[in-house]
Amino acid sequence: MEEKEVKTTVSKKAKKRYNIYYLSMDEINKIITAAKSLRDQVVLKILARTGMRRFELCNLRIQDVDFEKKRIFIPKAKGDKARSVPTDPDTLQSIKFYISSRQYGKLIQSNKKNSDGIDESRINAIVKNTAKKAGITHPDPTKDSVNPHIFRHSFIRHLLKIGVPPNFVQQIAGHSDIRTTLQMYGIPSFTDIQEKYDEIAHTFYEDNNKTKTFNQKQ
């Protein structure tokens, strides 16, 4: 009787990916203010205020910006799915100044004559160099410098923190499953915990101004 080889499959649990570190809105605005050009400022504002991914920003065309409805259409998002994201008036105003009379082509242009549009490496450099100029470091001590993804991460965390419903955040972020939004961005950071603790710390004692005097004699 021949022995049959028994194949066993081991199911591996997917490793949860989440990052508890993020930049405050004050830190993000300091970086935006430190931009050396209008183009760099537009790049930073779009990343910080829409949660857009680098490659999504690279693929944007001028006609993807709807100034009337205050939104940006992303024709090629993750998974080749299109979506739209709301945009604030200040960012739209900066975009208007930046594109000037241009009506077609890539929204963010490259400084290279033979290149139509900015690439991801240039976006990395803009974020890294401008953050350094502003004196802002990555909140994660294991990271050497500020990168574009921390803008997206901070934006999504900020939306959840101020009470925007998770299903709204899911649509803006372009997550196909709301569990991704909650698993990746719903874990509270120590800053969040500290802020909440400070709010309720007074409940641990009766009067902060009264300090009990202890008899030191033994």
Q: Is 153 a catalytic residue?
A: no
Within 61-182, strands assigned E span: 65-66, 71-74, 83-86
Q: Does the annotation mark 53 as catalytic?
A: yes
**Measured distance CA(122)–CA(127) in Å, rounded:** 9
98 a catalytic residue? no
DSSP string, 194-207: HHHHHHHGGGG-S-
Contacts of 163 (CB under 8 A, 6+ apart): none
Dist. CA 173–CA 155, nearest whole Å: 9
Q: Is 78 a catalytic residue?
A: yes
Judge whether 62 and 99 are in contact, CB under 8 Å. yes
Say what angle helices 38-50 and 148-161 make with each other, to 10 degrees: 40
Separation in Å, CA 201 to CA 116, 188, 193, 209: 55, 18, 12, 14
Question: Which of these is catalytic: 152, 153, 157, 158?
Answer: 152
175 tagged catalytic: yes
- Among 45, 106, 122, 175, which one carries the catalytic annotation? 175
Q: Which of 30, 78, 132, 161 is catalytic?
A: 78
61 is catalytic: no
Q: Which of 30, 132, 149, 161 is catalytic?
A: 149
Give DSSP secondary structure letters for 23-68: --HHHHHHHHHT-SSHHHHHHHHHHHHH---HHHHHT-BGGGEETT
Of the residues 45, 49, 53, 122, only one is catalytic, namely 53
Report in angstroms the alpha-carbon separations of 107 from 28, 97, 151. 22, 12, 19
Q: Which residues are catalytic?
A: 53, 78, 149, 152, 175, 185
